[in-house]
Structures are given as C-alpha cells and as structure tokens.
C-alpha cells in the first residue's frame, strides 16, 4: 500500500515537474517573441524616421529649385525641372516605403499588445506609435502640397479639365495606393462625379476650391457631399462612426 502511494506521489511529482518545465519553456518562447517584435519595431521605426528626414530635405530642395526657376533662362530650366522631378519621384518612393513600414509597425504592435507578457517599455512604445502616425500624416500632407499641380491649384484655383483629373487621380493613387480602385470596388454605386469629389477631398482641397474646380457654387458641393454620404451608407450602413463627416471618413479610407 505504502509502495503504491509512493509510486502515485512520484508520478504526480513527475507530472508537476513536466508541467513546470513546459511552462518555463513556453514562457521563454514568449519572452523571445516579445523581444524579437520589440527589436523589429524599433528597427522599422528608425528606418521610417530616416526616410522622413530625407523626404523633408528633398522638399526643401524642391521649394528652393522652384523659386529659382523664375530667374533662370529656358536652357537652364530644363535641367532644373528634371532635378525637381527626380526629387519628387524619390519622395514618392520613400512615401510608399514609409506606408509599408507603418503597416509592419502596426502589425507588430498588435502582436505585442496581444502578448500575455507586457514589456517594460510598452508605454514608451505606445507614445512612439502615436508620434510615428502623426509624422506620417504630416509628411504625406507635405508631399501632396509640394506637387506642382496641387501647388498651382491651391494658389490659383481654376476649372479642371478631364486631363487634370487624370493627373490628380494618378497622384492620389501614388500617395494612397489603389485609392480610386478601392473606392470603386467597395462602393460601385458612386458616380464619376462622386469619385472626383472624393479625390479632391482626399487631397485636402476646401469646399470653396472644389467649387471653382467644378464650376459650381460651394452650396452645390456641400449638397453633393451629403448625397454621396447617403449613397455610401446605402452600400455599407456601418461605414461611418457616430457624427463622422465625409471628409474625416475619406481621410482614413
């Protein structure tokens, strides 16, 4: 009897020890995963910051070159315009790279937040995530505002021809990948006029500017926005959060 009890106790101790070892192994595995995610998150954040610095430098150079154009001869302007285009293309590529980095950062962040263990730097990482998001939005706005056509339309609004909308649609899809395609696929009931309005709002143009672009009154633009919001809600009733405007919705779309 005593032997049987001793065997049972030994077996129980063995099971407990095995569970402890298994728990410790899982714990170490989770710690390694969290450490890896944190390290990669910091690496992506650094690369994103480096890209931001280069984009800011390029924007300054573009502005300086554009200011010099008016004082140069036609033969000199060609080389200057070519350099401006190169800098704009580099900024476009950097912006796309930053969007990809931001997606990677957000994916890693979700994994970190769902991890059972909390890292000691969780609050610090949270703050950094918010800063990165703010910087990304600021630089995207800067990239849009320095585009020659956008800069021209902001300073001297005019009626937009079909070829202007083609250029603007190309720009918005470069900065916000597949924006028009996603919009059309998600909301096929939107008209061509709706899509044009969405593009202009996405690029940050005001109601008064859009009114000039479309040769209508500002009140007509506001009415069209209201009708479009209704069409979007007909397609997807949960598209908007409570009190959310069309402009804010397009900002995050």
List the domain boundaries for the chain. Answer: 1-146, 148-253
Indicate the pTM of the whole model.
0.54
Provide the pLDDT for residue 90.
Answer: 85
Which tokens hold the place of 234? 């007909």
| Long-range Cβ pairs for the range 47-51 (8 Å, 24+) | 47/101, 48/98, 48/101, 48/102, 48/105, 48/132, 48/135, 48/136, 49/135, 51/94, 51/97, 51/98, 51/101
Provide the pLDDT for residue 2.
Answer: 46
pLDDT along the chain (253 residues), means of 10: 54 58 56 63 74 79 79 76 85 81 72 57 57 62 75 89 91 85 92 93 90 92 91 89 86 84
Provide the pLDDT for residue 129.
Answer: 57
């Amino acid at each position: 009897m005593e032997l049987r009890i001793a065997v049972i106790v030994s077996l129980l101790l063995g099971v407990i020890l095995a569970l402890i070892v298994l728990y410790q192994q899982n714990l170490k595995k989770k710690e390694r995963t969290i450490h890896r995610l944190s390290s990669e998150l910091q690496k992506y954040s650094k690369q994103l910051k480096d890209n931001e610095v280069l984009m800011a430098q390029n924007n300054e150079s573009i502005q300086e070159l554009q200011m010099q154009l008016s004082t140069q001869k036609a033969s000199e302007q060609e080389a200057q315009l070519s350099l401006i285009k190169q800098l704009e293309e580099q900024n476009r590529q950097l912006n796309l790279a930053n969007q990809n980095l931001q997606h990677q950062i957000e994916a890693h962040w979700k994994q970190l937040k769902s991890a059972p263990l909390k890292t000691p730097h969780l609050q610090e990482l949270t703050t950094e995530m918010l800063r990165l998001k703010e910087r990304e939005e600021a630089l995207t706005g800067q990239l849009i505002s320095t585009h020659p056509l956008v800069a021209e339309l902001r300073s001297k609004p005019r009626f937009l021809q079909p070829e202007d909308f083609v250029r603007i649609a190309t720009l918005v899809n470069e900065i916000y990948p597949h924006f028009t395609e996603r919009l059309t696929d998600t909301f096929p009931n939107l008209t061509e006029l709706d899509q044009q309005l969405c593009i202009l709002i996405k690029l940050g143009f005001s109601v008064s500017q859009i009114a000039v672009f479309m040769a209508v009154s500002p009140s007509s633009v506001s009415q069209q926005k209201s009708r479009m919001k209704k069409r979007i809600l007909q397609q997807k009733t949960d598209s908007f959060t409570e009190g959310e405007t069309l402009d804010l919705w397009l900002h995050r779309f």
